Amino acid sequence: ETTGLEPSAGDEIIQIGAMRIVAGKLRREDSFEQLVNPERSIPPVGIAIHGIEPAMVKNAPTIDTVLPAFHAYAQDTVLVAHNAAFDMRFLQLKEEASGVRFTHPVLDTLFLAAVIQPDLPSTGLEGIAERFGVPVLGRHTALGDAIMTGEIFLKMAKDGSTVSGLMDTLATMTSIALQYGVPLRDLVSKFTHVRFEPSGFTGNPEVPIAKSTVDYIFRWMGSRFLSKEDRDALGILGGVVVAEAP
């Protein structure tokens, strides 16, 4: 949890929560949960969402103490997060203050869901949880959101056919590429128009025709996540993809 949505403008981490996944199961007895003193005010609009008040963090350790502890907890693991770019930006900006760098591979359930269930009406954590049958409990607490994200990830991992396995792999590769700074625009530009079977009409009004599964995935991601300028340049206009017949 954070004081706001703009880490580059001075927003700070106020709570970190995580839980380990081992052998396909959440280990609820092996979790990390810590309030953080942000050394700044917490806006009332944020308190209304996460419920963390100034008095609760007044005597909590600061981020230069908490991040090394979390880094040790997460050592030699793959991080799973929802909208991971948001979380990772906060961590990156605290590298100098904390003396630790998070170079872990990162899997993003937002992008995994977009690939596995491209017709999702919402890519928010609650919307994805509902689609995968995961109870929405402890929302907007760091540990509660971590548990929900972990449950969603495990549900995704069990969606086993060959096609879903390939899509899951592609989503993982895309998530890692984004983590290491490859612009989404470059990925969309590279992988749209890739042609192989199956191809044809999709039943999705946002991407009515696709030349392949890969073409479909990256057209859909472009329509949802790229800026209007980038969509225009790539022929993805107004969130509705303009596709040629396969």
Which residues are the active-site residues?
140
| Long-range CB contacts for residues 138-145, cutoff 8 Å, separation at least 24 | 140/1, 140/49, 140/50, 140/51, 141/1, 141/15, 141/17, 141/50, 141/51, 142/1, 142/15, 142/16, 142/17, 142/18, 142/33, 143/17, 143/18, 143/19, 143/31, 143/33, 144/17, 145/17, 145/82
Contact 202, 210 (CB under 8 A): yes
> Would strands 79-81 and 106-108 be described as parallel, antiparallel, or unpaired?
parallel
Q: What angle is formed at CA 188 by the lines to CA 183 and CA 193, rounded to 5 degrees?
A: 155
Q: What are phi and psi of 188, to 5 degrees?
A: -65, -45
